[in-house]
Each structure stands twice: as structure tokens, then as C-alpha cells.
Amino acid sequence: MSTIAIDIINRYGELFELYKDTDKRDVLAEAEALITEGKLEAAKDKLSVLETKQEMMARITSFIKCKPLFRELRRIRDGKVANKFEELKAFSSLFTHITIECEKGRTQYRALLRDVYTIMGELLYE
């Protein structure tokens, strides 16, 4: 199996987990059919309309760029926070922003909620 085929199948698997319970299931089904038929480029094009977790996080980040949360997350990234409670507060706010996206119908963002929740849990038990 070629590297391109493996990449497309891996992308399909990642996107399937994000979108399986959303209104984008039809895109997944079409991509799966194309993969089965060996039409990998067409499958790749079909999957390209769906955001990955990284793209979702980039979208959230662009929404919060002018908010204090963005500065707090940058401080966390740079290791400039005073304590774990500041980090917890920032991730809690990020969790809220992601939840709002889910409320707007972008339920695929649930995967980001799980990731942020895991980080918050780790901070609580450090």
C-alpha cells in the first residue's frame, strides 16, 4: 500500500471519529466509497472539506485573538504563568468557548472538549 493511501486512510479514520455523529456523515460515506473504489485523490478532495482537530483549534484561536484568554494561553505556552490556578482558569475559559461552538451545531468540536478537559484534570491532580 502506498504512503498516500495510508495517509488518506489515516485521515479518514481521524475525521470519522470527529464527524461520525454529525450532519457530515454523508461526506464520510462518500469518501469511504471512493477509498473502496481506489479513487484516492477524489477521496482526499472529499475529506478536505472537513476540519481536523488542529484546524478546529486554529479556528477557536482566531475567535479569541482579541480576548484576554488569548494572552493567557500565550503566557501558558511561554511558561510565564504564576501558578496552576491561572492555567486552570484559562483552560476553563477555553472549554467554555469550545462548548459554545458545540451549541452552535459544530458538535465535532467535542473532541477538543475532551482534550481540554484532560488538561484540566491533569492540572487539578498535579
Q: For the segment 36-59, what is each residue's pLDDT rounded down to a tens digit?
A: 999 999 999 999 999 999 999 999
Residue 49: its H or E element: none
Q: Given a cut of 70, is residue 1 above it in pLDDT?
A: no
Of residues 84 and 126, which shows the higher confidence score? 84
Tell me, what's the pLDDT at 5? Answer: 82
Mean pLDDT across the stretch 79-84? 88
Tell me, what's the pLDDT at 112? Answer: 94
Tell me, what's the pLDDT at 23? Answer: 87
Q: Given a cut of 80, is residue 2 above it in pLDDT?
A: no
Separation of CA 24 from chain center: 15
CA atoms of 92 and 62, how far apart (whole Å):
18
Q: Write down the pTM of the prediction.
A: 0.79
Tell me, what's the pLDDT at 126? Answer: 80
How many other CB atoms sit within 10 Å of the CB of residue 61? 14
Cα torsion 52, 19, 87, 100 to 10°: value is 120
Mean pLDDT across the stretch 30-37? 93
Mean pLDDT across the stretch 8-20? 90
The answer to whether the CB of 31 falls within 8 A of the CB of 47 is yes
The answer to whether the CB of 21 falls within 8 A of the CB of 107 is yes
CA atoms of 38 and 21, how far apart (whole Å):
25
